[in-house]
């Protein structure tokens, strides 16, 4: 958790709450400092202490995002894939409970899984991506996400649409 990061921007909208059963499952033997909920997705969130003693956030990514007429504006690659929307919101990208979206060469299926999610969100922000079919993701998007990007790199909607329509050169 660092000031000025996309995740810090997201945590500003979280609301403190009493713990629920979902929080208990999420805590899984971690020492919890505070319980939160994302008011836009009802997603449970915990603030804990990380391995280095600094505050850390634990959450499960949503299965889908609230669309409300908005569209994907960009993605930000910062420890996971984050979505910014045309109405100014930030969300962790949706994915299944057993997955963690990633990018970069050498991470197995991760780039195609992230490409599958992004591809679905480009068409419908409220889509529930099906990661079982990740090998069918557009090759250009998969190639873009297979590249090494610095943490915090932002890829605009235009760049994502271009990659989706452009076959990889290698």
pLDDT in tens, 128-158: 988 888 888 899 999 999 998 998 999 999 9
pLDDT tier, 3 (very low <50, low <70, confident <90, very high otherwise):
low
E strands, the chain, in order: 15-16, 32-38, 43-49, 55-59, 72-78, 80-85, 90-92, 153-156
Mean pLDDT, residues 9-33 taken together: 92
**What does the pLDDT look like over 78-114, one tens digit per residue?**
988 999 999 999 999 998 877 778 888 755 567 889 9
Residues 7 and 83: their CA atoms lie apart, in Å, by 11
Is the pLDDT confidence value at 119 over 90? yes
Q: What is the DSSP pairing of strand 90-92 with strand 80-85?
A: antiparallel
Is the pLDDT confidence value at 115 over 60? yes
Q: List, as own/partner pairs, every contact residues 34-40 make where C-beta atoms lie below 8 angstroms and the sequence separation is at least 24, other chains included.
A: 36/11, 38/10, 38/13, 38/14, 38/62, 39/13, 39/14, 39/15, 40/13, 40/66, 40/89, 40/91
| Predicted local confidence at residue 55, as pLDDT | 78
**What does the pLDDT look like over 28-72, one tens digit per residue?**
888 899 999 999 999 999 999 877 877 788 998 899 999 889 999
**Are the C-beta atoms of 84 and 73 separated by less than 8 Å?**
yes
Write the CA distances from 93 to 63, 65, 133, 138, integer angstroms: 8, 8, 17, 18
| Predicted local confidence at residue 164, as pLDDT | 96
Is the pLDDT confidence value at 25 over 60? yes
Residues 41 and 166: their CA atoms lie apart, in Å, by 33
Tokens of 116: 């599958």
Residues 107 and 121: their CA atoms lie apart, in Å, by 22
Kindly tell me the sign of the dihedral angle through the C-alpha atoms of 21, 22, 27, 31.
Answer: negative
| Predicted local confidence at residue 68, as pLDDT | 86
């Amino acid at each position: 958790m660092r000031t000025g990061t996309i995740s810090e921007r997201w945590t500003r909208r979280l609301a403190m709450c009493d713990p629920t059963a979902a929080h208990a499952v999420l805590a899984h033997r971690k020492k919890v400092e505070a319980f939160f909920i994302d008011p836009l997705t009802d997603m449970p969130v915990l603030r804990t202490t990380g391995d280095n003693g600094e505050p850390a956030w634990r959450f499960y990514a949503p299965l889908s995002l609230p669309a409300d007429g908005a569209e994907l504006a960009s993605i930000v690659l910062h420890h996971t894939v984050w979505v910014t929307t045309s109405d100014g919101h930030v969300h962790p990208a949706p994915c299944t409970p057993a997955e963690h979206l990633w990018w970069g060469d050498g991470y197995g299926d991760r780039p195609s899984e992230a490409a599958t999610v992004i591809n679905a969100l480009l068409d419908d922000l409220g889509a529930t991506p099906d990661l079982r079919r990740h090998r069918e993701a557009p090759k250009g998007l998969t190639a873009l996400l297979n590249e090494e990007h610095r943490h915090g790199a932002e890829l605009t909607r235009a760049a994502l649409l271009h990659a989706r329509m452009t076959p990889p050169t290698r």
